């Protein structure tokens, strides 16, 4: 298998690199570099609008819905270049999660109503999957929706909702048949966050940030026209969505960016009067994680090129998820070690201290969401080892 990029792909990479260098606003780049998320909603909407106006609003969408129609290789190169330039991530909940579900299973009216507003950044979406007691065992969810004329009445609670405080809409899994087997009584609803009866309660994280929420639904009336697909068939749509969530979860672009930051931090830090980067033991640990990242990148490219030949990824997606999250967590640990005692000052001097400390604590979640690493190991055991 030839894993080298073609001349056209290299030209495309250079085009993306030049575009991001000239169009990414300096204030947004500066906040991403410092890990300053106080203006995250405005920054993400502005960047999405800039990409949309250039025709790059949805790298992963087919052209018929306004996307770029790029193949997997170009999508990969686009992500790598955006991360390298410290561009903000594009919000995945609309673009990469609910939009593919609407494209595949939604009605024509839903496609016409929701997709254009996701593409141009008008609507911010969030996810309503996890509940207290229903995370990895998602089929045990208890939020219920009961039919009342031309509406569903929703009652229940969602947990670990990311950035829902900014959201215009939420896609939710709800139980519509309590008597059916767990996976067969679930439906997929699109709910306007301004609907009376919805309450968003912040969940403060270890780093003190307001990134996740609990969301409560008390007699929330949702038009039946906001049901995606068939009633009680939501489990099928949920699995389809989770497959898209795990796409690109290897996080190659993020790890490459953070590895470069780690080397810079180790170059500035001093140990025994010399740069920490010159310490043979610490340098060896950086080299080890860099080699692991290179190996993961090659594996990721093999999966991408296999998909280009219409070969669907199998257990490789689970391998990418496990190794990708472990490597990014390991890099964040080395950043903390490079800071030394300064890491104890959460609001310490320089951009590296608050960013690295906050990220170290925040990245612990990587091995849990998108299907925990334990679940991914079970998938590998079943599909590869036949256990």
Give the 3-state secondary structure of the chain: CCCCCCHHHHHHHHHHHHHHHHHCCHHHHHHHHHCCCCCHHHHHHHHHHHHHHCCCCCCCCCHHHCCCCCCHHHHHHHHHHHHHCCCCCCCHHHHHHHHHHHHHHCCHHHHHHHHHHHHCCCCCEEEECCECCECCCHHHCCCEEEEECCEEEEEEEEEEEECHHHCCEEEEEEECCCCCCHHHCEEEEEEECCCCCEEEEEECCCCCCCCEEEEEEEEEEEEHHHEECCCCEHHHHHHHHHHHHHCCCCCHHHHHHHHHHHHHHHHHCEECCEEHHHCHHHHHHHHHHHHHHHHHHHHHHHHHHHHHCCCCCCCHHHHHHHHHHHHHHHHHHHHHHHHHHHHHCCCCCCCHHHHHHHHHHHHHHHHCCCCCHHHHHHHHHHHCCCC
Choose the catalytic residue: 81, 245, 297, 316.
245
Give yes or no: 292 in active site: no
Catalytic residues: 245
């Amino acid at each position: 298998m030839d894993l080298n990029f073609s001349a056209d792909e290299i030209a495309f990479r250079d085009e993306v690199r030049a575009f991001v260098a000239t169009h990414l606003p300096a204030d947004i780049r500066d906040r991403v570099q410092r890990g300053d998320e106080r203006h995250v909603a405005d920054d993400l909407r502005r960047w999405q609008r800039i990409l949309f106006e250039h025709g790059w609003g949805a790298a992963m969408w087919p052209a018929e819905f306004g996307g770029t129609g790029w193949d997997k290789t170009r999508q990969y190169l686009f992500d790598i270049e955006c991360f390298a330039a410290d561009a903000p991530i594009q919000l995945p909940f609309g673009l990469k999660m609910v939009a593919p579900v609407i494209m595949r299973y939604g009605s024509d009216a839903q496609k016409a109503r929701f997709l254009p507003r996701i593409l141009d950044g008008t609507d911010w979406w969030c996810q309503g999957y996890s509940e207290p007691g229903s995370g990895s065992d998602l089929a045990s969810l208890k939020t219920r929706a009961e039919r009342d004329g031309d509406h569903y009445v929703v009652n229940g609670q969602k947990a670990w909702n990311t950035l829902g405080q900014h959201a215009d809409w939420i896609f939710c899994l709800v139980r519509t048949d309590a008597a059916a087997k767990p996976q067969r009584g679930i439906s997929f609803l699109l709910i306007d966050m301004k609907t009376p009866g919805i309450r968003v309660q912040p969940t403060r994280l270890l780093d003190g940030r307001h990134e996740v929420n609990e969301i409560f639904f008390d007699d929330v009336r949702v038009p039946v026209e906001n049901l995606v697909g068939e009633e009680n068939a939501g489990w099928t749509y949920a699995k389809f969505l989770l497959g898209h969530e795990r796409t690109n979860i290897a996080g190659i672009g993020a790890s490459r960016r953070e590895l470069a930051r780690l080397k810079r931090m180790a170059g500035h830090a001093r140990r025994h009067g010399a740069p920490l980067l010159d310490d043979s033991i610490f340098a060896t640990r950086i080299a080890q994680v860099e080699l692991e990242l290179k190996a993961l990148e090659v594996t990721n490219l093999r999966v991408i090129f296999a998909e280009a030949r219409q070969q669907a990824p199998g257990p490789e997606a689970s391998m990418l998820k496990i190794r990708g999250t472990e490597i990014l967590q390991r890099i964040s640990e080395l950043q903390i070690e490079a800071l030394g005692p300064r890491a104890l000052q959460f609001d310490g001097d320089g951009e590296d201290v608050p960013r690295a400390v906050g990220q170290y604590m925040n990245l612990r979640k990587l091995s849990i969401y998108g299907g925990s690493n334990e679940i991914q190991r079970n998938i590998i055991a079943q599909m590869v080892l036949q256990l």
